Amino acid sequence: MVLREIEAFAPLEPDYIVSVTPYYYNVSQNDILCHFREIAYHSPVPIIVYHIPQNTHNYIEISTVLELAQIDNIAGIKDSSGNFINFGRACLNKVPKQFS
Using left for φ > 0, alpha for ψ between -120 and 50, and beta otherwise, residue 91 falls in alpha
Q: Is 50 a catalytic residue?
A: yes
Q: Is 78 a catalytic residue?
A: yes
Closest of 47, 45, 46 to residue 21, by C-alpha: 47
> 25, 50, 59, 94: which is the annotated catalytic residue?
50
Helices (H) and strands (E) in the chain, counts: 5, 3
> 16, 23, 41, 78: which is the annotated catalytic residue?
78
Distance separating alpha carbons of residues 37 and 23, to the nearest angstrom: 16
Distance separating alpha carbons of residues 2 and 62, to the nearest angstrom: 24
Q: Annotated catalytic sites, by residue?
A: 50, 78
